[in-house]
Structure 1
Amino acid sequence: MKLVILACLAAVAVAAPQFVDLPPVVILRDDRQDSGDGNFQYAFEADNGIAVEASGTPGSAGQSNMQGVFRFPLPDGTIAEVRYIANEDGFQPESSLLPTAHPLPAHAIEQIRFAEEQRALGITYDQFGFRSNRK
């Protein structure tokens, strides 16, 4: 039993995070403006290649409408960039880094077309999958 406890303690010691001394990051730019009425703007840049810019205005439903961009270095040395808008329609990022949906296969497009055709004719189905027509 003592051997099991000793082995567990050794495993915990080996699995403990190893802290690496990273060099400090120097902030090159930190500009902030807030008018107090919901309008704001900020820009931030660090010497490690990270940069953020954003501006915002009050939205019609009480939210903050924002638009901005953030950049960061990739391991290969190139700079990644993500532009975004955030408003009542949600967060909408744009970047070549983001995955895109695969195109639908032909049979799926045909099924969608067929379902739209049936819907236009008023054909519906109940919860058991049986056809029921609207009156």
Structure 2
Amino acid sequence: MKSVILACLAAVAIAAPQFVQPPNQVAILRDDRQDLGNGAFAYDFEAENGIVESRRGFSGSQGQTNMEGSFRFLLPDGTIAEVRYVADENGFRAESPLIPTPHPLPAHAIEQIRFAEEQRARGITFNDY
């Protein structure tokens, strides 16, 4: 009988809710926000874990808010990753060594493109049949 009671107590102890440690909290070192009016704004943010963001907004030619800024963060190997971007009438453009770029065209393809542009400039066209 004692062994049954002991087994029941062990089962209750195992089934008891486990206390989960809260996720790591990160201190915010800087959070500056300014609304300058007419769609213009400034935003700067920095956290103790290395995340930094800076963004500026200003009125665009078609009534939209254009933006430019950057953000950076630490990669697992300890290096800093940074992305700079612009968003305006011409779309969103980002620059970073982390963003993959297409392979360069081979020389013969570049020559074919140049030759086709030269023919087009002289008015030479080809009909599709």
- The TM-score bracket by the shorter chain reads 0.7 to 0.9
CA apart distance, 1:31: 0.6
Distance 2:77 2:22 in 1: 22
**CA offset at residue 67 of structure 1?**
1.1
Paired letter, 1:119: R
Query: Structure 2 counterpart of 1:64, which letter?
Result: T
Secondary structure (helix, strand or coil) at the match of 1:124 reads coil
1:58-81 Cα shifts (integer Å, max 9, x gaps): 100122111111011101011111
What's 2:54 paired with? 53
Letter in 1 for 2:125: T
Output the CA distance in 2 between the equivalents of 1:60 and 1:44.
Answer: 28
Say if 2:39 and 2:64, in contact at 8 Å, map to a contact too. no
**Number of the residue aligned with 1:36:** 37
SS of 1:115 mapped into structure 2: helix
Q: Does 1:109 align with 2:110?
A: yes
How high is the TM-score relative to the length of structure 1? 0.73
SS at match of 1:48: coil
AA at the equivalent of 2:66:
N
Give the match for residue 22 of structure 1: 23
SS at match of 1:116: helix
Distance apart, 1:36 and its partner CA? 2.8
Aligned pair count reads 110
Partner residue in 1 for 2:71: 70
CA distance in 1: counterparts of 2:92 and 2:62, whole angstroms: 15
Percentage of pairs with the same residue = 65
RMSD: 1.9
Aligned counterpart, 1:16: none
How far the C-alpha of 1:115 sits from its partner, in A, is: 0.7
Structure 1's consecutive aligned runs of 4 or more residues displaced over 4 angstroms after TM superposition are none
Task: Give the 3-state SS of the residue equivalent to 2:112 in structure 1.
Answer: helix
Where structure 2 has 5 or more consecutive residues not aligned to the other structure, the ranges are 1-19
Report the Cα distance in structure 2 between the residues aligned to 1:86 and 1:120, rounded to whole angstroms.
34
The structural deviation recorded for 1:21 is 5.2
Residue 122 of structure 2 corresponds to which residue in structure 1? 121
| Structure 1 gaps, min length 5 | 1-18, 129-135
Structure of larger gyration radius: 2
Mapped contact 2:69–2:86 kept (Cα < 8 A): yes
